[in-house]
Structures are given as structure tokens and as C-alpha cells.
Structure 1
Amino acid sequence: MKNQIEKLYQIANKAERTIIGLMSGTSLDGLDVVCCQVSGSGAQTTLKVTHFHTVPYDDIIKDSIRKIFAKRQIDQQELCLLHPYIGVLHGQMINQCLSEWGLQPHQIDLIASHGQTVYHAPKKQHQIEGYANATLQIGDGDHLAVTTGIITLSDFRQKHIAVGGEGAPLAVYGDYYLFAEKGHNRILLNMGGIANFTVLPGSLEAEGIFTTDTGPGNTLIDAYMRRLFRLPYDDNGAAASKGVINATLLNIIKKAPFFDKPFPKTTGPEVFNFDFVESAIQQARLTTLSRNDIIATLTQFSADTIVDAIKKAIDPTQPYTIYGSGGGVHNPVLMAAIQAQLPNYPVLNLEVLGVTGDAKEAALFAVLANEAVAGDGEHFGFREGVPRVTMGKISFPA
């Protein structure tokens, strides 16, 4: 252990660190693996993506995770078995990427693993007296470290909760360190399964940063594409573009209690899922609604709730530019619906800032690992949802 601690100390004092960031989101399409060169810390952080690849999950893995994903009642043995299994699997995927990239494990300083979220339960959602915010990600960091031979930081969300946050969104820290620019008000909009955004003031004042989830990004669209079309997602918005938005269904699902809760807030597929929409369809007596109309309506639902949240969070007298990332940026129908309601604010792909939108979340966890090892702890004031904290549990190789 002493040798490993000394190695970590040496890594912390390097001018530049090579960090692999990992992200597997609620879409369950695979593991995003990004290799970054990171220097500095805090607001002086610089990051360069050198390699990026999404390693797809096969159907067996997807089905295994879905058995316990976002469900209140599960087989505990399945959860117990998957936690180390996913850790080893992610380690093997990293080894595969390193081989393809011509890199050796000793050339990598750290792994930053988000893990696979299986349940998210903020207090505003569960409302059980005596219990605080909670979230659970599987993919054991010790197994990852042993499988790869690389020091691993994982389980980032627990520290955020321990100091009063909801464990999400965590992108705010990396968004500020990497993308804030003097004189430019920016909104970093991530549209994964759940959509969230970070407001970065052009003043660069950390205490002025705001972040929140907005509701569904792709999670409902994906769920219905799987059920109705046997496809993993709405490729290029093709299904939505052929449908007609049903105003009755749209109005019903926009009345979900989540949207009345105060900012900042987080949510997940535990709330916004197939049953949530089916209940609304039954309530509206729209059981003959075409499958394209359902996808069109769910796409507009994501756009409307994203726009509503942004409008509530910004100063309407100020100019802003919106930078999109996540799977949603590949859906032109969703992007157009957002831009149409925010005509004065350009909606661009994050790629224009030098990081591909698909790699962003994995890269941001590399930033969090860098901050945990080499940072001094940025002070974000006392705004709810953005506590001053360093995150990540450290696992050493055997």
C-alpha cells in the first residue's frame, strides 16, 4: 500500500496526467471510454482528448442490467453479482481500447469510472421521512483497478450526497473548469437519458453557476422506440418527423409533479418510464395513437421541458449561447424544437468548443478524478446543488 500511495503522490505532482474517463448512461448502449491529457486543476484545468471509443454492450449485458435498472423490487442476488461483474467487464473494455490505441497500462495514470447507475432516489422524489438523498452506481472500482493494473477513482456521486447534494448533475464542475469563458454567458446542455444543463456566467464567478436536471432527454423516446419499433433510438429523428404531436397527451405528461418542484432538482427513469406514459395514454383515452405520433409527442415533451427550465434559470436581458451534448444532439427534430422556442439563443453542438458531445461526460469524470488527486477545491459559494467537494473513492491495483 505504501508504494501505491507514493505513486499516487507522484501522479498528483505531475505537470500533466493521462486519465481515462468512463461513462455508461441510462441508454445502456455501451461504455464511453475517453483518454485525456489533463494539466492544472480548478479553473486552470486544461484537457485534450487523445482517444475516444464507445464499446457497445451486447444484448445479454443490456438485459441483465435492465432486470435491476430503475426498479424498486429486484432480485438482490442479481444486483450483488452484477456489481463486480460490471467492474471486470469495464476493465476488459479498457484493456481492449488500450490495445487498439497502441498504449500500455503503465502509460495511464488514472481511471475515472462513473459506473452504471441502477437507481436514483433524491429526497424530493422518495419523500421518506428520516432518509436523505441516495443514488446507486454499480461497477466495482477495486475490480476495475485489478483488471487493468491502473489506479481507479469511482463512486463519485456519494461524496456529493454526503455534503448535501443530490448526487447529480456532476457535470457542473467540469463544465466550469473547461468551458467557462470571460464575457460569454454559456449554457451547457446535456441530453442523455435525462437532460440537464449548467449555466456558466460570463463573469466567471463560480458562485453564479447554476445546474439542474430538466426531465427526460432521450429516456422515454428510447423506451418507446424499443417497444414500438424494436430499435434502440430514433435515428436522425426519423420516427418523430413522420408523426404529429398530440396536444392532449403532451399536456398531461407535462403536469408530472417533478416539474413543480423547486430548482435545483434531479430525476431519472425511476419516474419517467414506459408506465408513466402508458398511464397518461390511458387517462387521455388515446390507445389508438399511432406509434409515430407517440414518438413525435415525446420528442416535443423533452424539448418543451428543457426550454421551460432554461427560461426559468436565466436572465432574459442577457445573451446566451447554448452548447448541446449527449445523444440528443444527433436528433435534429429535438434540436430544432429547442431552437424554435429559444430563437434569440444560438443552439450549437459542443464540438465547436473542442470536445465532441459524445465524449463529454466521460471526459468530465476524468476532470473530477484530476481534481480529487491534484486540486485544491474550488469554492462555488453556498448555492444548493453545487457544494465545494472533491469526489471519487480510490482503488489501488493488487
Structure 2
Amino acid sequence: MPKPEYFIGLMSGTSMDGIDAVLVDFSAAKPMLIASHTETIPTHLLKGLQRLCRPDTDEVNRLGRLDRSIGQLFAKAVNNLLTKTTVTADEIIAIGSHGQTVRHMPNLDIGFTLQIGDPNTIAIETNIDVIADFRRKDIALGGQGAPLVPAFHQQVFAKQGHKRVILNIGGIANITYLPGNHDQVLGFDTGPGNTLIDAYIQQALGQPFDRDGAWADSGTSQPDLLKQLLSHSYFSQAYPKSTGREMFNQAWLQQQLADYSDLDQQDIQSTLLDLTCHSIANDINKLSPTGELFVCGGGVFNKALMQRLAILVPGYKVDSTSALGVDAKWVEGMAFAWLAMRYHHDLPANLPAVTGASRPAVLGGHFKAR
């Protein structure tokens, strides 16, 4: 048997619902998930992050403190992950850390993206080298810096003769189109995933998320509101494109709801769920009217979302990535372990057709534990 090639992937997405940590072995042709762990983000840190994500409250001191604090929490996630295994820190080649995005503005005159969670802190507190800051090289090359997971999806899920779409539904939803031939792999953010439905139920009922989409299913979608929401310019924008909380947030939602104050809250929730499903389905159907659709990320556990989406893509066989042997909950974490592995082997990790970068590039920077 080949010697294990262990990397750890750390992912905290737009939803900020926890830090996913995965231990992956890359010694065989197919990556093997060895162990997984989710570290909850404490309430005081979550509130700090949410405050930092609002453009009108920027403060350098808060950014610096949260950078260190989130780095400590990422390190805690790694250390707790390893307690679930017999693997020691010395056996890990590197940690691939996505960080926590607090601003993603790739379309400015001088575009930028900013993830915090100090990799030096992670390296010192785990005694493992860290590869981090994956997105900014792609932006320096004129790209969007996102999404980065399509290259991993291509490696793990592409199959000759099978036209596949891999859909990740986190706070923001993104798709990867795998044509099953020599055509170009495509990928981009479709728009809101869970971010608006989570935000609205938190505001209305004080619940962190709509379990199974049950609250949305108790309502009736309002066609006029849905049409207005779908008229956002992002949905008609050509790819490469990426988005985030900067565009789809509570402030934007409140503006959209200004003329709909008479609607029942569950009707609004149902319409927001339809916004997620329609914006995803419209893009998938444009890429190809038929194929196989495999879903990963938190949205895969929302039954109402999955049922509504399946109706909107009638030409697709819909399943989760678990059907392809990769647990749907951990795909993104595994992708950042893979990005660290690519860096270690001096291999490019971006797809210029996806991000818009001028060329393929080795992504990330190396932060040594010693």
C-alpha cells in the first residue's frame, strides 16, 4: 500500500454556520475522506463577523482582532478533528485553509477579496504547516477569485460520456458544468443559496435556519415578488461571475420587500426559497437541458429546496454527491485540502474559463509551523 498523503481542509462559508475540518488522504487516485469535524462559531465571534461584513461599520482594530480569533478557532477545529483519529500532527503535510470571507469585491476598478483567520496562528497552534490565501492570486491575474471548487469537482466527479452539473448550495450557490467530453469545464456563482432564507427566518422567528424548508412550504410563493427579485442584474450577467453577502443581504432584501408589507411571513420565505431554486435552475437549463445533477453543501439537506429544484430541471436526474461516493456535507472542505495538495506539488489549481484569470496558477501561500 502507498504511504498516506494526508492533508487537512478547513472551510467556513458565507453562511457562517460553523467551520468544517476534514482529513483527506490523497495517496490513491481518488481522494479518501478519513475524518471530519464541525466547529461551532461562538455567538460573540459570529456577531463580530456579521458586523464586519457590513460595509458601513469597518474598523481596522476589529478586523485585526477577529483575524486572530478566527485563526485560533480554525486551529481548534483541526486539533479537535485529530482527536477523532489516530493520525498525528507530524503526519499531516499541510492544512489548506479557506479562511472566513468578510468582503468579496472582484469587480471594482481594483478588485479584491478578503478572508480572515490568520494562517500563522493556525500553524503555531496546530504545529502543522498551513497553505492559505488561495483567492488573491487569481484576482491578481484578472480573475474573480471564485469559485475555486470546480477544478476539484472536475478531478473527482467528471466522467467521460456523462454530462454532469455539480451544485454546491452554501450561503451562495455555485455550479460546475462537467461536459463529459473535451469541451471546457465551466463554473460560476448562480446567486443566493441559503443566505436569504436563513437571514429571513432568523429575523422573523429567531431560528438559525428553516429545517427541511418546512416554514417555506407552509407558505405560498408570490409571483410578482419573485419576478422582482429575479430582475436583479446579477442573474442576467455573463459568466465568469461570483457574488456574496455584499450583493445579496438583509439590506437589499428589505428594499425589495418595501412594497410587499402586507404579505404573510411564510409567503415571503416561500418566495425566497423559490428565488434560490429558480436562479439555480435557470442557469443549469441554459448550460444544457439534460444531464445529471449532483448537489452538495448545506442546501442538500433542505427537502423543500431539493423537491422544488428537481421540478425546475426536468431534464436532469437529481441526486447528492454522496451517490458518487463523496459525502455531500464535506465536499468543500475536501476541496481546500485538495488545493493545499496542489500547492505542495507545485500544480495549478484555478480554471481560467471559470474565474476569468489570464492563466492557470499555483494558488496560495505557505505559512510554516516552525
Common fold, TM-score beyond 0.5?
yes
Cα displacement string for residues 212-265 of structure 1 (whole angstroms, at most 9, x for unaligned residues): 110000000010011011111110111011011011211111111212221121
Look up the match of 1:310.
Answer: 284
Contact between 2:51 and 2:57, CA under 8 Å: does it hold in 1?
A: no
**Are positions 1:271 and 2:255 aligned together?**
no
**Residue type of the alignment partner of 2:356:** G
| Shift in alpha-carbon separation, 1:39–1:132, aligned structure 2, 3 A | farther
TM-score (norm 2): 0.95
Look up the match of 2:274.
Answer: 300
| Shift in alpha-carbon separation, 1:189–1:373, aligned structure 2, 3 A | same
How far apart, in 2, do the equivalents of 1:382 and 1:348 lie?
26
How far apart, in 2, do the equivalents of 1:355 and 1:305 lie?
25
Cα displacement string for residues 266-310 of structure 1 (whole angstroms, at most 9, x for unaligned residues): 11111111111211111xx21121111111000000000001111
Contact between 1:70 and 1:120, CA under 8 Å: does it hold in 2?
A: no
**Are positions 1:27 and 2:15 aligned together?**
yes
Contact between 1:133 and 1:165, CA under 8 Å: does it hold in 2?
A: no
**Residue type of the alignment partner of 1:259:** F
Contact between 2:296 and 2:328, CA under 8 Å: does it hold in 1?
A: yes
Contact between 1:304 and 1:338, CA under 8 Å: does it hold in 2?
A: yes
Displacement, 1:344?
Answer: 1.6
Contact between 2:144 and 2:240, CA under 8 Å: does it hold in 1?
A: no
Contact between 1:33 and 1:52, CA under 8 Å: does it hold in 2?
A: yes
Among candidates 279, 283, 303, match of residue 332 of structure 1:
303
Q: Structure 2: give runs of 5+ residues left out of the alignment.
A: none
Displacement, 1:81?
Answer: 1.1
Displacement, 1:382?
Answer: 5.8
Could you list the structure 1 runs, at least 4 aligned residues long, displaced by more than 6 angstroms after superposition: none
Which 10-residue stretch deviates more, 66-75 or 188-197? 66-75
| Shift in alpha-carbon separation, 1:355–1:77, aligned structure 2, 3 A | same
Which 10-residue stretch deviates more, 386-395 or 297-306? 386-395
Look up the match of 2:138.
Answer: 160
SS of residue in 2 equivalent to 1:109: strand
Displacement, 1:46?
Answer: 2.3
Cα displacement string for residues 307-365 of structure 1 (whole angstroms, at most 9, x for unaligned residues): 11112223x3xx41000011111111111111101112011111011111110001001
How far apart, in 2, do the equivalents of 1:379 and 1:362 lie?
16
TM-score (norm 1): 0.88
Among candidates 304, 323, 338, match of residue 294 of structure 2:
323
How far apart, in 1, do the equivalents of 2:104 and 2:238 lie?
18
Displacement, 1:72?
Answer: 4.6
SS of residue in 1 equivalent to 2:36: strand
Among candidates 174, 199, 202, match of residue 226 of structure 1:
202
How far apart, in 1, do the equivalents of 2:342 and 2:56 lie?
34
Look up the match of 1:11.
Answer: none
Displacement, 1:16?
Answer: 4.1
Look up the match of 2:164.
Answer: 186
**Residue type of the alignment partner of 1:166:** Q
**RMSD of aligned alpha carbons:** 1.8
SS of residue in 2 equivalent to 1:351: helix
How far apart, in 2, do the equivalents of 1:366 and 1:378 lie?
12
**Are positions 1:50 and 2:21 aligned together?**
no
Look up the match of 1:4.
Answer: none
SS of residue in 2 equivalent to 1:101: coil
Q: Structure 1: give runs of 5+ residues left out of the alignment.
A: 1-13
Look up the match of 2:238.
Answer: 262
**Are positions 1:355 and 2:355 aligned together?**
no
How far apart, in 2, do the equivalents of 1:379 and 1:246 lie?
40
Displacement, 1:101?
Answer: 2.6
Look up the match of 2:363.
Answer: 391
How far apart, in 2, do the equivalents of 1:342 and 1:147 lie?
46
| Shift in alpha-carbon separation, 1:378–1:145, aligned structure 2, 3 A | closer
Look up the match of 1:341.
Answer: 312
Which 10-residue stretch deviates more, 67-76 or 351-360? 67-76
Displacement, 1:388?
Answer: 1.2
Look up the match of 1:7.
Answer: none
**Are positions 1:110 and 2:81 aligned together?**
no
Contact between 1:171 and 1:364, CA under 8 Å: does it hold in 2?
A: yes
How far apart, in 1, do the equivalents of 2:45 and 2:335 lie?
25
SS of residue in 1 equivalent to 2:369: coil
Displacement, 1:107?
Answer: 2.1
How far apart, in 2, do the equivalents of 1:195 and 1:135 lie?
18
Contact between 1:86 and 1:140, CA under 8 Å: does it hold in 2?
A: yes
Look up the match of 2:103.
Answer: 119
Cα displacement string for residues 52-111 of structure 1 (whole angstroms, at most 9, x for unaligned residues): 111111211211111102435412210111112211221122112212334321121210
Contact between 1:221 and 1:298, CA under 8 Å: does it hold in 2?
A: yes
Look up the match of 1:288.
Answer: 262
Among all aligned residue pairs of Structure 1 and Structure 2, give the percentage whose two residues are the same amino acid: 34
| Shift in alpha-carbon separation, 1:82–1:291, aligned structure 2, 3 A | same
